[in-house]
Amino acid sequence: MLLAQYAFRPFLNSPPIWDYWLLLIIPLCLGVAIVYKSMKVASPRQLPLEAISTMAYIVGAMAAIAAAVTLLNAIM
């Protein structure tokens, strides 16, 4: 009964993506980049490229910080 209640039902319970939770950072960063760049660009034509490059910067910077912290943790 309890297990059935926790079974995936869209918008009620979580989908079975526990093993891929780290990938959920990509759509979040893309959303942040689109909203941020929609304020900055003068024309909607510039938006896709600007948003994708901003998203790449955010994801890249977070990956670099994660790598640095992991390295620091291994050394200390």
Partner 1 sequence: MDEQAIESTQGQKPGSPMIVAIAGWMLPGLGYVVLGQTWRGVVAGTTILLLILMGIFIGGIRVIELPGFDSAGKRVVVPGTDQWVLTARPVPTLMEEIWFMPQLLNGPVTLLAGQQSLALTRSGAAMKMHGRLDDIGILYVAIAGVLNLIIIIDSAHRASKASLSETE
Positions that interact with partner 1 (CB under 8 A): 5-6, 10-15, 17-18, 21, 24, 27-28, 31-32, 34-36, 38-42, 44, 47
Cβ proximity to partner 1, 14 vs 53, nearer residue:
14
Cβ proximity to partner 1, 1 vs 72, nearer residue:
1
- Specify the DSSP element, H or E, that contains 7: none
How many residues are given for the chain? 76
Q: Are 17 and 54 in contact (CB under 8 A)?
A: no
Cβ proximity to partner 1, 11 vs 74, nearer residue:
11
The SS3 of residue 52 is helix
